Structure 1
Amino acid sequence: HPTPCTVERFLCFLGEFPALDTMFPPCSGIIDNAGGKILVQKVAGHSGYRGSFSNGVRSLSLPRWRESFLVAGTDRLLEEDVSRLLILARRKAVRKEQKLLLCLCVLISDCKVDLSFLIDGSWSIGKRRFQIQKRFLSNVADALDVGSAGPLMGIVQYGNDPSTEFNLKTYTNSKDIRNAIEKIPQKGGLSNVGRALSFVNKNFFSDANGNRGGAPNVAIVMVDGWPTDKVEEASRLARESGINIFFVTIEEAAESEKQNVIEPDFVDKAVCRTNGFYSLSVPSWFSLHKAVQPLVKRVCDTDRLACSKTCLNSADLGFVIDGSSSVGTGNFRTVLQFVANVSKEFEISDTDTRVGAVQYTYEQRLEFAFDRYNSKQDVLSAIKRISYWSGGTSTGAAISYALEQLFSKSKPNKRKIMILITDGRSYDDVRVPAMAAHQSGVIAYSIGIAWAAHDELEAIATDPDKEHSFFVDEFDHLYQFVNQLIQNICTEFNSQPRN
C-alpha cells in the first residue's frame, strides 16, 4: 500500500514470509522479476489510512494496521535506493500458507531527464533481435513513465548513417511511444556508432527538438557486438557538450572475434566515467529484459550524472594574477587563498571544469595550463605552490599572454572564463588586449584591490561591467567576493541557451 506522499506509480509483489529470497512478478510493469535478494525490516504500523485506486490496483481503507516493512537490497545499487523504496505490508492467508502482500512505492516523479536512445539497426543484429530490442525500449518507456513533467524520450536508429525516428517533443506519454516503437522498421547497414554519437551531439538535443535545458541530457547506446567505426572522439565531444553517455552492449566479441574490433575498450573510451555506472554488459539478447530495472535506476539517479552541463562543470577557468612588488608576500598568499576558494566551488576534472593560472609583473609566467591537473586536489595543491614573483604591472600584456598560452588551448564547447586580479594601475594599455579577449569569446571578470584603477577594471570586464568587475579596498576583504562571483558566473550561464 503506498505511503501518504506524492507517489505516481507503485507495484505489488507476493512473496514467502519470512524468507523473501526472490521478487515475484509484479502486478504492474515497472520492475520485473529480475531483482535479487532483499532484506525486509519490520517497523511500526500507522492508523487512519484511506483507500485509493491507482494503476489498476485498489487498496483497502486501513483504520489501523500493526506492522509495516522497510525493504533494502543486498547489493550496492539497491542499498542506495533505500530512501526511495518504502514497503507497507499485511500478512494474509493464501491457500493456508502465510504469504506477504508487498506494495512497492516507486518515487519516479523527480526523474526529469531528456533521453535519446541510439538503437542498433545494422544487418548483423537480425530481424528477431531487432524486435527484442524494440520490446526492451517499450519496457523502458513504461518503467520511466514518460511525461512532460518527468522524463522525455526520443529514438535515433543507426546503421551506415543515423536518422531520428522521433524526438523529445514528439510523444509525451509511454503509450504513444510504445505504439511508435512498434512501427520502427530496421535500417540495415553497418554499426557506425561513432557517426551516430556525432549526429546526436549536433542535432538531437536542441530547443527545436524539445530539449528542456534544465533536464540532464542522456544518450543510451545499444550495441550488438561492437561498433564498426571509432567512438572515442565523437564521445569526447558529446561529453563536453554535457551529454551523459550510457552503453548497453549485448553479446560482446568472443576471443576469436576480438581481432575484428576496430577500437578495443570502446566502452571505456566513450562513457563519462569508467566505474561501471555508465555501462551494462548483457550476455544474451534473450536476457536483455533483465537490464530494464538497473538501467532506469541509473538514468534517473540525476545526482550521479557526471556529465550534465552546469555552471560549475562546463568551463575552462583561467586566473591572471598580479605578482607586482606593490602586492607583497603576505598579500600574495591572501590572493592565492582567494583563487583556491573560487576553484573549490567548481567540479574539476578532464571532462568537467579545468583550471589554469598565469602570474604577471612586467613579464608573464604560465603557472599551469588547463590540461596539467585533472582533479580538484591537484589544482588546489598547485595554487598553493605558486611562488611570488615581484616586479612591475603590465596588465595589458598579461591579458594577451593569457589569450595565447591559456585560452587558445581551450576545449570546444567550454566556456572560457578569465578572472584577473590586480592591485594597481597598469603601465601599459589594457583596452585593446581586453577587447581582443572579448571578441575571442572569453568572459572576463576583473577584481581590483586597493590602488587598482576603476576605469581599467571596467575596460577589462565583459559587459555589463557591474556584473563582471569588483573592487575591494583591502586584501583581507577579498573573501567577501567568492560567493558573489560564483553566483554571477552561474546566473550568466543559466541565462544562455543550453546548447
Structure 2
Amino acid sequence: MCTDVTVADIVMVIDDSWRIGRLNFKAICKFLEKVVNAFDVGIDKVRIGLVKYSGDPKIEWHLNSYTTKDEVITSLRNLPFKGGATMTGRALTFFRENSFRLQSGSRGNVSKIAILVTKGKSQDEMAVPAQSLRDAGVELFVIGVAYINETELKLIASKPDETHVYNVPDISFLNDILDGLTSNVCDAIKRQEEEIRRVKNADEELKVITSKPDETHVYNITDFSTINTVTEGQTCNVIDTVKQQEEKIRPLEQMRIFCLKNADAEEP
C-alpha cells in the first residue's frame, strides 16, 4: 500500500489490440485492480483515469469520473475488449492532448503519472510522442507483456529504466512485478510532490521582485526542457506591457511637442 501518498493524478493506458487478445486483456485489467488497490483513491486524493487503445485510442473514463476506489475497480471489471492494430504512438499523442487537462479532471500542482501496458511492437512512431509527454511533466511507467524489443519500451518510459520499465515473459508473471511497480510509482509521486513544493516556494520569492500582476509577470519552470511551454504566453505578455507603456508615454510626448511649439511661437 502506498499509504503516505495523499494526492496524485494517475492515468492507466491499456493496449487492447489483437496482439493482447481477449483473455490477456481481462488478466491485465485484473492486475490493474491490484495496482489501484495500492492507493487511497478519491476525488480529493488519488484520481485514476483510463485510456484504451488499438487503432483508435479512447478515454474510457476521466480523472474526475469516479470518486471512489470501488467505482474504478467496477469499471475495470466491466471494461470491454475491442481488438485492432497496435498504434502506441497515436495513443501517446491522444493521451497527452486529452487526459491531463483541467476539463478531464487533471489538477494543477499535482503529481502526474502514466502506466502503459502493451504487448506487440508499435506500428507507428512513438519516441517523439513519448518525449512530448515526459516534457509535459508526466512520469511514464511501461509494462511490456512478452515484448521482444525492450529498447522500444525504454524509448517510451521515464528514467531510470530500472524503475520505469517492466518486461514480463507472459501474462502470468504480472503479479511478480506488482510490489516493485507500486513502490516505484509511490516514490515517483513523492519526488514530484517535493519538486512542486520547491517550485511553489521559488514562485513566492519571484513574486517579491517582479512587477504586478503575478499571472503575467512570473514564470517558473522545473527545468530548461520545459521552457517552450511558457515562451508564447510570455512573449504575448511582454508585447501587451510594451503597448500599455506606449499608451502612457504618448500623452506625455504630445505635451512635450505642444510645449516646444509654444516656445517657438514666443520667440521674437
Smaller-chain TM-score bracket: 0.7 to 0.9
- Kindly indicate whether the alpha-carbon contact (under 8 Å) linking 1:268 and 1:274 is maintained by their aligned counterparts in 2: no
For residues 165 and 459 of structure 1, do their structure 2 counterparts lie closer, same or farther at Cα, with a shift above 3 Å needed?
closer
2:72 aligned to which of 168, 173, 177:
177
What are the equivalent positions in structure 2 for 1:13-162 lying under 5 Å apart?
A: 30=1, 108-162=3-57
CA distance in 2, matches of 1:197, 1:132: 22
2:163 aligned to which of 255, 277, 281:
277
| 1:291 CA drift (Å) | 2.1
1:353 aligned to which of 224, 233, 245:
224
CA distance in 1, matches of 2:244, 2:145: 52
- Kindly indicate whether the alpha-carbon contact (under 8 Å) linking 1:111 and 1:150 is maintained by their aligned counterparts in 2: yes
For residues 235 and 124 of structure 1, do their structure 2 counterparts lie closer, same or farther at Cα, with a shift above 3 Å needed?
same
| 1:137 CA drift (Å) | 1.3
Which has more strand, going by share of residues?
1
- Kindly indicate whether the alpha-carbon contact (under 8 Å) linking 1:118 and 1:221 is maintained by their aligned counterparts in 2: yes
For the pair 1:299 / 2:176, whether they are aligned, the reply is no
- Kindly indicate whether the alpha-carbon contact (under 8 Å) linking 1:160 and 1:189 is maintained by their aligned counterparts in 2: yes
| 1:268 CA drift (Å) | 2.4
For residues 438 and 293 of structure 1, do their structure 2 counterparts lie closer, same or farther at Cα, with a shift above 3 Å needed?
same
1:416 aligned to which of 213, 224, 231:
231
CA distance in 2, matches of 1:310, 1:234: 28
Secondary structure of the 1:265 match is helix
- Kindly indicate whether the alpha-carbon contact (under 8 Å) linking 1:156 and 1:163 is maintained by their aligned counterparts in 2: yes
Task: Kindly tell me the number of residue pairs found equivalent between the two proteins.
Answer: 223
For the pair 1:224 / 2:119, whether they are aligned, the reply is yes
| 1:411 CA drift (Å) | 6.3
What are the equivalent positions in structure 2 for 1:210-249 lying under 5 Å apart?
A: 210-249=105-144
CA distance in 2, matches of 1:219, 1:124: 21
CA distance in 2, matches of 1:154, 1:135: 16
**Which residue does the alignment assign to 2:253?**
none
Greater Rg, structure 1 or structure 2?
A: 1
| 1:275 CA drift (Å) | 3.8
Q: 1:274-320 CA deviation, whole Å, 9 max, x = no partner?
A: 442221222221010222222211222124459x88985xxxxxxxx
| 1:250 CA drift (Å) | 1.3
CA distance in 1, matches of 2:78, 2:92: 23
For the pair 1:438 / 2:235, whether they are aligned, the reply is yes
For residues 304 and 277 of structure 1, do their structure 2 counterparts lie closer, same or farther at Cα, with a shift above 3 Å needed?
farther
RCO (CA 8 Å, sep 6+): is it higher in 1 or 2? 2
**Which residue does the alignment assign to 1:201?**
96
CA distance in 2, matches of 1:172, 1:245: 24
List structure 1 runs of 4+ shifted beyond 3 angstroms: 303-306, 308-312, 441-444, 458-462
For residues 310 and 251 of structure 1, do their structure 2 counterparts lie closer, same or farther at Cα, with a shift above 3 Å needed?
farther
CA distance in 2, matches of 1:272, 1:137: 20
- Kindly indicate whether the alpha-carbon contact (under 8 Å) linking 2:5 and 2:190 is maintained by their aligned counterparts in 1: no
Which has more helix, going by share of residues?
2
Secondary structure of the 1:416 match is helix
What are the equivalent positions in structure 2 for 1:377-396 lying under 5 Å apart?
A: none
Q: CA RMSD in A?
A: 3.2
| 1:211 CA drift (Å) | 0.8
- Kindly indicate whether the alpha-carbon contact (under 8 Å) linking 1:154 and 1:167 is maintained by their aligned counterparts in 2: yes
For residues 283 and 152 of structure 1, do their structure 2 counterparts lie closer, same or farther at Cα, with a shift above 3 Å needed?
same
- Kindly indicate whether the alpha-carbon contact (under 8 Å) linking 1:109 and 1:150 is maintained by their aligned counterparts in 2: no
Counterpart AA for 1:182:
R
Give the TM-score taking structure 2 as reference length: 0.72
- Kindly indicate whether the alpha-carbon contact (under 8 Å) linking 1:242 and 1:309 is maintained by their aligned counterparts in 2: no
- Kindly indicate whether the alpha-carbon contact (under 8 Å) linking 1:246 and 1:279 is maintained by their aligned counterparts in 2: yes
Counterpart AA for 1:294:
G
- Consecutive unaligned residues in structure 1, runs of 5 or more: 1-29, 31-106, 259-263, 313-344, 355-409, 418-436, 445-457, 463-499
Secondary structure of the 1:221 match is strand
